[in-house]
Amino acid sequence: MSTATRYTPVAVVLHWLLALAIVGTFGVGLYMADLPFSMTRLKLYNWHKWAGVTILALSALRLLWRLANRPPADPPMPLWQARAAHGVHLLLYIAFFAVPLTGWAMSSAKGFPIVWFGVLPLPDFVPKDKELGELLASVHAALAWGLALLVLAHVGAALKHHFIDRDGLLARMSLRRS
Partner 1 sequence: MTKLLSALLIASAAVVLPAHAATLLADKSELSFTFKQMGVPVDGRFKKFDAQLDFDAKKPEAGKIAFTVDLGSVSLGDPSFDHELAAATWFDTKRNGKATFVSSGIKATGPGKYDVAGKLTIKGAVRDVVVPITLTNGVAQGSVPIKRLDFKIGDGEWADTSVVANDVAVKFRLAFSGL
In the chain the beta strands, taken as DSSP E runs, fall at: 115-116, 120-121
Instruction: Judge contact between 70 and 4, C-beta under 8 A.
Output: yes
Q: Which of 1, 39, 67, 164 binds partner 1 (CB under 8 A)?
A: 39
Residue 147 CA, chain-centre distance (Å), reads 7
Q: Which of 75, 121, 156, 168 binds partner 1 (CB under 8 A)?
A: 121
Piece of the chain touching partner 1 by CB under 8 A; list 34-42, 52-60, 66-74, 167-175? 34-42
Nearest CB to partner 1, comparing residues 32 and 153: 32
Piece of the chain touching partner 1 by CB under 8 A; list 9-17, 35-43, 86-94, 148-156? 35-43
Q: Which of 54, 112, 132, 154 binds partner 1 (CB under 8 A)?
A: 112
Q: Closest approach of Cβ 127 to partner 1, in Å?
A: 14
CB burial of residue 58 (10 Å; 0-12, 13-18, 19+)? middle
Whose CA is closest to 135, among 111, 109, 114, 113? 109
Task: Give helix 39-68 / helix 79-109 axis angle, nearest 10°.
Answer: 140
Angle, alpha carbons 40-145-83 (nearest 5°): 145
Piece of the chain touching partner 1 by CB under 8 A; list 18-26, 115-123, 151-159, 165-173? 115-123
Give the interface with partner 1 as residue ranges (CB under 8 A): 37, 39, 42-43, 46, 111-115, 117-119, 121
